[in-house]
Chain A
Amino acid sequence: MEHIRRVLSVIVLNEDGVLSRISGLFAGRGYNIDSLTVAPIPKTNLSRLTIVTSGNAPVLEQIVKQLHKLIPTYKVIESGQFVEKELALVKIPLNEDFNGLDAMLKAYNGTIASSGEEFIVVMVADDYDRIDNFLKAVKKYNPTDIVRSGSVALDM
């Protein structure tokens, strides 16, 4: 069966141990987590998790049902209509030739987030597949560190 990538937006009660319930569910039942982000929803007692997972159709259906089954789960949103963005930070030594970097950052909604005596840190926020592309392209500046945030998504 076809392996499908799926973004799930899960609204849960913001209480002790809720993240371990979710991550334990995925680990215990052998589901994939490609990325997971979590933050409280302002002015509520809820948190939003954005989980990127993958599996065949029956597995994805079961993931959604199992998430629903957890007592602190309020809502599981699996609509295809998501605005999905990911952020990446890239640390580049100052002794590199930055020719063309500006244009590249512009193309990927990027900016220079910080600069120090030996390094600059650039930041891009874009679709996850475009982040893939950016990270390939940025290699020519010999980055020393790369960190990706995992996807955040909002349903339309």
Chain B
Amino acid sequence: MELSGSQMVIEALRKENVSVVFGYPGGAIMNVYDEVYKQNHFKHILTRHEQAAIHAADGYARASGEVGVAFVTSGPGFTNAVTGLATAYMDSIPMVVISGQVPISMIGTDAFQEIDAVGISRPCVKHNYLVKDVKDLPRILKEAFYIARSGRPGPVHVDIPKDVTAQIGHFAYPAEIKMQTYKPTYKGNPRQIKKAIEAIVASKRPVLYIGGGAINSNAAEEVREFAKICGIPAVETLMARGVMGHENPLLLGMLGMHGCYSANMAMSEADLMIAFGSRFDDRVTGKLSEFAKHAKIIHIDIDPSSIGKIVPIDYPIVGDLKNVIEAMIPLAKEHVEADRYKPWRDLLNRYNEIHPLKYEDSNEVIKPQWAIERVGELLGDKALICTDVGQHQMWSAQFYPFSYPRQWLTSGGLGTMGYGLPAALGAKVAMPEKTVINFTGDGSILMNIQELMTAVESQIPVINVILNNQFLGMVRQWQTFFYDKRYSSTDLTMQPDFVKLVESFGGRGFRVKSKEEFDKALEEAVASNTVCMIDVNVDRFENVLPMVPAGGTLYNMMLEYKE
């Protein structure tokens, strides 16, 4: 079949069963957009900024588990996309991002809207391509999708010069992928698995340390089964919320900087840590020399470079988590006695009773934690939860009752403010039957506010709940704790009327100052079937607690803040 480069892009997306593309056109990618106009295989959603197109594709990928796809143009179109690529790369999210480029003959001449896109994207994508000949395009697109979704997933960037999108070439989409140099390991080494089981049998205080890999590997069911068979208590990272389910008696909660006391104590007092697709982020470990210092460590990860990167590992297993746990389960059934860990479980449950996650509720002013809990009570597992970055993000992670994987979308590794709204759009497109809530802050929401227009135009009803404390709250909190209350550039008292703002885009706004108003606004928002903004006035000086200060130790948390 003879096709132009642009037609090849459309055909390849069809072969990959892509149902939606987020994007923003421009000069260098116009040929592709001309073919988008002519086709009806996938829906194109026009965002109002390239960064948002990438975050929306990311949100789509996180909610659905499929590869997210976005189109942007060259130059500023591409540089706007970089934050989105880096966000997805840090959290291992599968995406294919196609950018236009100036024609090959003009590359290197500082042409209009020219930038060295692959040079810029190289450190923030899993792989990238500059297509120099249309005959390579089918293979490159096939490889891009394969690389994005296989192994440790990640974004792949394909930069296509404008003349290549116009050239005619032979299109035969490869049925099979043959890559000489890229072969991820899926199956764990049976000998290592056996040793890991022996280590579990020998341990008295084991803990499961579950990371985002459990979600990427679609291994939640296996993780839950393994935990149950072994009777081993579990902690989740920010990225892993929802894997165990909030009602699971073995789940202690989130660990790390704003983790709960019992989860952090479990890590500190464990004699064996079983890391399931987690990467020992500094926000998780605190001071490394004191991190889980009594524990031997089993680490299962599909990325060999994650193993031993931060801490030495006693039992490394390279492989796909789901696959490896499936191999561990029969051995665990045979050898591990769940009763053996009862005293350990009892101890951790006692820790949880002594220092549970808590906040002091008020009838004068809405506490941000209350608002999150309240959404949890009213919507529970019917809602997907997205966030921006800051205090509201940590409170959401702490207080929302997550029931299943892919219910929770947040920028964990990069911590990208402005992620929430566009990611919520992507999530809603992937899961239209769910209510999609974006918990956001009065700082974050303004970073991609233009996406209200996308939501209205493409009829994607998501609900933004602004926990409005008129502060850049997390930075304000650090200034309170560590900078003698010098509130340098964190007071956001100057702000728009969010209700009028959303209404000017054609959505619905609610201003909330009491619990009664909150319930009513949420109910109306859910029923409204349009994009909504609930501007919740919350306690200005509420802090996220407990807290392990940066570089502090997990077993020495700040449980309360005293003036």
Contacts and interface: CB of A to CB of B under 8 A. Distances in A.
Contact of B181 (A17, A20, A72): A72
Interface residues of B, number: 19
Interface in B122-167: 122-123, 126-127, 130, 132, 147
A21 interface: yes
Contacts of B122: 17, 20-21, 24
Nearest to A27: B123
Interface string B409-446: 00000000000000000000000000000000000000
Interface in A1-50: 12-13, 16-17, 20-21, 24, 28, 45
A7 B354 CA distance: 55
Contacts of A20: 119, 122
Interface string B113-125: 0000011001100
Contacts of B147: 71
Contacts of B130: 16-17
A74 B179 CA distance: 10
B181 A24 contact: no
B181 A71 contact: yes
A62 B130 CA distance: 28
Given A71-B181, A71-B182, A24 B304 contact: no
Nearest to A29: B123
Contacts of A74: 180-181
B490 to A, nearest CB: 31
A66 B305 contact: yes
A73 interface: yes
Contacts of B304: 65, 68-69
B343 interface: no
A65 B181 contact: no
Contacts of A58: 308, 312
Contact of A68 (B118, B119, B126, B305): B305
B303 A69 contact: yes
A20 B179 CA distance: 20
Interface string B178-190: 0111100000000
A115 to B, nearest CB: 39
A61 interface: yes
B309 interface: yes
B303 A17 contact: no
A20 B122 CA distance: 9
A68 B318 CA distance: 14
B181 A13 contact: yes
Interface residues of A, number: 20
A80 to B, nearest CB: 20
A16 B305 contact: no
B97 to A, nearest CB: 16
Contact of A62 (B119, B132, B181, B309): B309
Most chain A C-beta atoms within 10 Å of own C-beta, residue among B127, B305, B312: B305
A71 B122 CA distance: 12
B141 to A, nearest CB: 15
A16 B132 CA distance: 10
Interface in A105-151: none
A62 B118 contact: no
A24 B118 CA distance: 12
Given A71-B147, A71-B182, A28 B305 contact: no
B119 A65 contact: no
Nearest to A73: B181
Contact of A65 (B118, B132, B305): B305
Nearest to B180: A74
Interface string A73-87: 110000000000000
Given A17-B130, A71-B147, A24 B123 contact: yes
A71 B305 contact: no
B180 A71 contact: no
A65 B309 CA distance: 9
B305 A69 contact: yes
B154 to A, nearest CB: 10
A44 B119 CA distance: 26
Contacts of B132: 16
Contacts of A45: 180
Contacts of B303: 69
Nearest to B124: A28
Given A13-B180, A58-B308, A71 B127 contact: yes
B242 to A, nearest CB: 28
Nearest to A68: B304
Nearest to B182: A71
Contacts of B180: 13, 45, 74
Contacts of A16: 130, 132
A110 to B, nearest CB: 39
A72 B182 CA distance: 7
B182 A61 contact: no
Nearest to A66: B305
A89 to B, nearest CB: 31
A21 B123 CA distance: 8
A62 B312 CA distance: 12
B372 to A, nearest CB: 37
Nearest to A13: B181
Contacts of B182: 71
Given A13-B180, A71-B147, A62 B305 contact: yes
Most chain A C-beta atoms within 10 Å of own C-beta, residue among B126, B130, B147, B182: B182
B488 to A, nearest CB: 30
A22 to B, nearest CB: 11
Interface of B: 118-119, 122-123, 126-127, 130, 132, 147, 179-182, 303-305, 308-309, 312
Given A65-B304, A68-B304, 17 more contacts: A12-B181, A13-B180, A13-B181, A16-B132, A17-B122, A20-B119, A24-B122, A24-B123, A28-B123, A58-B308, A61-B308, A62-B309, A66-B305, A68-B305, A71-B127, A71-B179, A74-B180
6 contacts: A13-B180, A28-B123, A65-B305, A69-B305, A71-B127, A71-B182
What 8 A-B pairs are tightest by C-beta distance, nearest first? A65-B305, A71-B127, A74-B181, A28-B123, A71-B182, A69-B305, A65-B304, A66-B305
Interface of A: 12-13, 16-17, 20-21, 24, 28, 45, 58, 61-62, 65-66, 68-69, 71-74
